[in-house]
Amino acid sequence: QVQLVQSGAELMKPGASVKVSCQASGYTFTNNVIHWVRQAPGQSLEWMGWVIASNGKTQYSRKFQGRVIISRDAPARTVYMELSSLRPDDTARYYCARGVGVSTFLWFDSWGQGTLVTVS
Amino acid sequence: DIVMTQSPESLAVSLGERATVNCKSSRSVFSYSNNNNYLAWYQQKPGQPPKLLIYWASTRESGVPDRFSGSGSGTDFTLTISSLQAEDVAVYYCQQYLSTPPWTFGQGTKVEIK
């Protein structure tokens, strides 16, 4: 079955950078897009960006452009999300999610367990 | 960006009764190219990641119980739980995937047992 397993919780200082990983299994890694979505405490879901697993192409939300880098290591079946210049309001749980669709990117059909990033 | 607005923010329903969650988009998410509404519903239980329930506004994901159904078109959509079970206590989110980026979600509707 499809599984996305994320790295553990992080406690960061303001101004620092954090890098969260997401390892995929149970499907052909290069067939899908991986998205990153964050959820601040008690809040809704906010899309941050995606990476095409086959070629590494990325696209980011305007809100995070310049502060986020999403990358992938195809042989390791792992995707990374690095967020820099952290602020306290970046405190959130960060999720990776598998996107459905190849030429057109659609819904998200499988999610990682989430990684809590606390900035304080 | 398309803004998704859900109502109500929360609702309490008795076990076995119907629960209805509404979602309104700021622009139509219907595509005439394939006659589909680009809308999905997710369920998030406490301490868990979201889980896909429905896509194309009304197609249930494999393994989702048939008490969950989605309806609507254009800008107005509904998620219905026909007979609420204890395990359905969760926050439900709608999401549009027509006009991307960004993918946008509603603010969530919390469903509880009365």
The model's pLDDT over A19-78, given as tens digits with 9 standing for 90+, comes to 999 999 999 999 999 999 999 999 999 999 999 999 999 999 999 999 999 999 999 999
Q: Which helix (H) or strand (E) holds B90?
A: strand B90-96
Which candidate in A107, A109, A111, A113 is best for mutational testing of the B interface (most B CBs within 10 A)? A107
Q: Which residues lie closer than 8 Å to A28 by C-beta, 6 or more apart?
A: none
**Amino acid A104: pLDDT:** 82
Confidence of residue A101 (pLDDT cuts 50, 70, 90): confident
Write the residue in B49, B101, B106 that is nearest to A44 by C-beta. Answer: B106
Whether residue A30 contacts residue A53, with contact meaning beta carbons closer than 8 Å, is answered with yes
Which candidate in A45, A62, A104 is best for mutational testing of the B interface (most B CBs within 10 A)? A45
Alpha-carbon gap: B6 to the closest alpha carbon of chain A (Å): 11
Average pLDDT, stretch A93-103?
A: 93
- Of residues A11, A96, A10, A3, the one with CA closest to residue A45: A96
Average pLDDT, stretch B77-83?
A: 98
How does pLDDT run across B31-75, given as a tens digit for each residue?
Answer: 999 999 999 999 999 999 999 999 999 999 999 999 999 999 999
Q: Answer yes or no: do A61 and B95 touch at CB < 8 A.
A: no
